[in-house]
Amino acid sequence: MRCIKCKAPANVEVRRHRSAFCAGCYPDWFRTQVQRTIDDHRMFSRDDRVLVAISGGKDSLALWHALLRLGYQTDGMYIRLGIGDYSVRSQAKSEAFAARHGLQLHQVDLAADHGFTIPQMRNQREGKPCAACGTVKRYHFNKVAVDLGYSVVATGHNLDDEAATLFGNVLHWQTDFLGRQGPVLESTHSNLARKVKPLYRLAERDSAAYAIIERIDYIVEECPMAIGAKSLAYKDTLNALEETQPGLKYQFLVGFLRQGRKALKTEDPVQIRQCAKCGQPTTAEVCAYCRMVERRLKKLPVRR
């Protein structure tokens, strides 16, 4: 197998594109894909200040690295979730990457600053805090971005993530979520930053290959709180299909975004207001984050 650019022996195969690249050519191809996605969806310009949501994993660090090489103004943000040794290691990877490249990494410490950790948000019925974790991340990424003057929040959601989310929403016919799924979530309020997903057309393997070639040190293991989550089962199902039908995940996701999503969009715009407790944007009197934290903190023992 030869690199399609320089004809040297290939190191990375991208089966859905029937392509292969050597280690020297692959990073440029990866960054070109990121740039094309940014341009196609007009995600942001080089005049925008971009806050990258960092987890310490391959996708977020690869995204931050690629945006840096492409010349964008980027800083990172990491949330200390309090998930035992996993959070300790992911924090260390994030801090090391920022220090190595001389970048700013903002941090939010849930335990020290807000009095709870993600394991304490475990759902008693399902036993997993994944939904609560998502609420926490969305809230704090947006709040920090708005408070510090970033116009855009970029996340490392990849093709596998987005295809699995779409698959789950279709299985359960979550039409509200289906109508909102996409690579760009525009700002509809002065306290709401634009959210973008520049990696949504790149697979998990693509990010891993980029990180390895560019010598990005990232946390390899999955979050231990996510073991057994439905999203992982959806990924396994799609991976099995992808193995025999290369490109299926891409066709499924991009086909939906081009043809199916417009049929599910509601005509009536959602009214955005300020949360009565924290002032952040919400569709209710009190935002989901404040309701969740208040409900959970009542069940936690008083700290001395």
pLDDT, one tens digit per residue, over 167-189 is 999 999 988 889 889 999 999 88
User: Burial level of 46, CB count in 10 A (0-12/13-18/19+)?
Assistant: exposed
pLDDT band at 232 (very low <50, low <70, confident <90, very high): very high
Q: Is 21 within 8 Å of 12 (Cβ atoms)?
A: yes
DSSP-derived secondary structure for 200-242: TTS-HHHHHHHHHHTT-----SPPGGGTT-HHHHHHHHHHHHH
Rounded Cα gap, residues 160 and 120, in angstroms = 28
Mean pLDDT computed over 228-242: 93
Answer yes or no: is pLDDT of 268 > 70.
no
Both structure tokens of 287: 């935002």
Count of CB atoms within 10 A of residue 212's CB?
Answer: 16
**pLDDT by residue (tens digit) across 54-73?**
999 999 999 999 999 999 99
Rounded Cα gap, residues 133 and 121, in angstroms = 8
How high is the pLDDT of residue 256? 95
Mean pLDDT computed over 121-134: 72
Mean pLDDT computed over 112-141: 84
> Global pTM?
0.92
Out of 61-70, 78-87, 197-206, 261-270, pick the least confident: 261-270
How high is the pLDDT of residue 270? 72
Instruction: Quickly name the fold that domain 25-244+252-264 has.
Output: Rossmann fold (3.40.50)
Nearest residue to 126 (alpha-carbon basis) of 235, 226, 238, 223: 226
Q: Is 60 within 8 Å of 77 (Cβ atoms)?
A: no
**pLDDT by residue (tens digit) across 31-60?**
999 999 999 999 999 999 999 999 999 999
Q: Round the average pLDDT of the chain to a whole number and report it.
A: 92
Residue in the block written with tokens 């475990």: 122
Q: Is 13 left (phi over 0), alpha (psi -120 to 50) or beta?
A: beta
Both structure tokens of 215: 């010598």
CA 160 to chain centre: 11
pLDDT band at 271 (very low <50, low <70, confident <90, very high): confident
Answer yes or no: is pLDDT of 127 > 60.
no
Rounded Cα gap, residues 213 and 2, in angstroms = 17
